[in-house]
Amino acid sequence: MILLNQPTLSNGDIIRPTYLEINLSQLTRNYRAIQQAVASAQVMPILKANAYGHGLVAVAEHLVSLGAPYLGVAFLEEGIMLRQAGVQVPILVLGGIIGNQVPTFLKYNLTLTASSVEKLHQINEAARHMGVRARVHLKIDTGMERIGVHYYSAETLLAAAQQCPHCDVEGIYSHFANADAARLHSAEVQLARFNQVLAFYENQGLPPPPLRHMANSGGILQLPASHFDMVRAGILLYGIYPSESVARTVTVWPCLAWKSRVIYFKVVQPEHPVSYGSTWQADHMVRVVTVPVGYGDGYFRRMSGQAQVIIRNRRYPVVGSICMDQMMVNIEWDSAYNNDEVILLGSSGELAITCEELAEWAGTIPYEILTNINTRVPRVYVHDP
């Protein structure tokens, strides 16, 4: 299956030699491994930022076909794109809201995050005005200091939610700042604060909202007590661990490969520098191939001088500055031909270039590598042979 936002050849094939290959069979295995690990809790796949670069709509449709009961996105627009693509399961928008967005949320039947009493009242009022019911999750800040009512003043929000006749408060949640760390003290403090907030319901003799949730990938892996009724699986679903130090209690594998092709071959004389700024040259004659991908696709320029790629089952260094649309690779005196496959991220036989490696070269984290592969790069969806 090929789905993309780009022109294609008349037979439907992609035109661009640079593309992302997403293995939906592997995504299925990751989803099931997470589901098995969290037992009775539900799994909410997180699809923000174009499904961590994997393609919002295609990934959503696949996960819904596997039975995902709920989807999570960051922004209203992402929720609307899913609705316009025909996705019908509940969708929680995790980010903060601005009052004038509320009618649009309701129009598309998206679940809102109420992160303060004022916002909750805006939601209730808009729902009353439109004659609809709003699905709402309450957001508690237990230590992230991002959005959400502080745990020490959460009772006002929980009590206010009892007085909103136009809202269905179906969830309450919090978010970890350090669930992927080796030391879990801070995450455990956050978890204790969330439990303390939830005690409100018992103290008042009220049922809690049916969906209590807190765990991101780090929480899924390391804090079973944070699984509650649902977990929010982000990067782990895509087969990447949230940090180097996290306990790998669930086995997942990456489902994305980034590939291109050799588009030019040349022999470069000694002391003839390559690319902008002339930052690299060899002291002997070398063969250099050009690959049609660059920082304009999200292959960070910061990686110049460090990045490697795989061609014909060998790793070779990217040399000189990475350009916007092209980069050069030194293959020394080996052979490579126009149209040979170049693997920027992914595996080939015994060799692999991981998202963690790219992150290291770029001085960032795997999340940022994935979410920066921009929409100019076509996505191609495949299954196991």
Could you list the active site residues?
48, 276
Phi-psi region of 26 (alpha: psi -120 to 50; beta: other; left: phi over 0): alpha
Question: Residues near 24 by Cβ (< 8 Å), separated by ≥ 6?
Answer: 1, 62, 255, 381, 382, 383
CB of 232 to ligand PLP, least distance (A): 4
Residue 141 is inside which H or E element, if any? strand 134-141
Contact (CB, 8 A) for 290 and 326:
yes
Structure tokens at 73: 């996105």
The residue (of 89 and 147) whose beta carbon lies closer to ligand PLP is 147
Tokens 């679903």, located at residue: 237
**Least distance between ligand PLP and beta carbon 187 (Å):** 12
Quick count: other Cβ atoms within 10 Å of Cβ 331? 21
Residue with smaller CB distance to ligand PLP, 174 or 260? 174
Q: Least distance (Å) from ligand PLP to the CB of residue 277?
A: 36
List of residues contacting ligand PLP (CB under 6 A): 46, 48, 94, 175, 216-217, 232-236, 242
Counting every residue written for the chain, the total comes to 385
Query: Up-side HSE of residue 280: CA atoms within 13 Å toward CB?
Result: 18
* Closer CB to ligand PLP, 45 or 378, in the complex: 45
- Of the pair 17, 95, the CB lying nearest ligand PLP is at 95
Least distance to ligand PLP, CB of residue 356, Å: 14
How many Å separate Cα 180 from the centre of its chain? 15
